[in-house]
A and B are shown apart, each in its own frame.
Chain A
Amino acid sequence: GENVEQHPSTLSVQEGDSAVIKCTYSDSASNYFPWYKQELGKGPQLIIDIRSNVGEKKDQRIAVTLNKTAKHFSLHITETQPEDSAVYFCAASKGDSNYQLIWGAGTKLIIKP
């Protein structure tokens, strides 16, 4: 079946450095790729998303890139800050569904002061 692989499972970076989290998906019909951030004790929160007709999207310190040919997409966080510490989930739509997502297993991002 369809799946999304996410790497690494844990990422520790020095405050101020950049962090990159990578995901690969298997469903070639997927056309929507959101990234969610989950802080301890809270529900996931959408931080950025990208659709298949776009190769890159940026929002301040956060950017997402998509390579449809290779079926992978990445989250880039620049100038990391302590408040970026959280678990990050990537997801891919199941086909062109507008509600059914296939989720990655999550990356625990640790920002070292």
Chain B
Amino acid sequence: DARVTQTPRHKVTEMGQEVTMRCQPILGHNTVFWYRQTMMQGLELLAYFRNRAPLDDSGMPKDRFSAEMPDATLATLKIQPSEPRDSAVYFCASGLPVSSTEAFFGQGTRLTVV
């Protein structure tokens, strides 16, 4: 059963700490998205990768957020330093843009910054 795997599922951290969220895209998918979901803003695209290269990270606060794909099986989203306003659910999604525009979402990481 192919699925996007995100870790951790839940994270509570203190303000100022570094947070790293990990994502394993579906094997063979060559696009990866990072989304943030909050009640106030809804779903926001933070970053988009194709073939491990970042094509669009315009939605990401550059001063504290960074996204990378060290290899085809791992995508990471880091926040340093974290702030209470970063509290949200962060979703990773993967897809195959040539054959479909569908994005397959993981179950998300619920981040709480206190």
Contact = CB atoms under 8 A, between A and B. Distances in A.
A31 B33 CA distance: 20
Contacts of B103: 46
A3 B106 CA distance: 25
Interface of A: 32, 34, 41-46, 49, 89, 93, 98-101, 103-106
Interface string B26-62: 0000010100000000110100101000011000000
B102 A46 contact: yes
Given A43-B107, A46-B102, A100 B48 contact: yes
Given A44-B43, A105-B42, A99 B107 contact: no
Contacts of B91: 43-44
B102 A99 contact: no
Contact of B101 (A43, A99, A105): A99
A37 to B, nearest CB: 11
A45 B3 CA distance: 11
Contacts of B102: 34, 46, 49
A99 B97 contact: yes
Contacts of A32: 101
Interface residues of B, number: 22
A99 B48 contact: yes
8 contacts: A42-B105, A44-B105, A98-B101, A99-B48, A99-B55, A99-B56, A101-B45, A106-B42
Contacts of B106: 43
A43 B97 contact: no
Contacts of B25: none
Nearest to A103: B43
B21 interface: no
Contacts of B105: 42-45
Contacts of B4: 43
B93 interface: yes
Nearest to B91: A43
A103 B101 contact: no
A15 B91 CA distance: 31
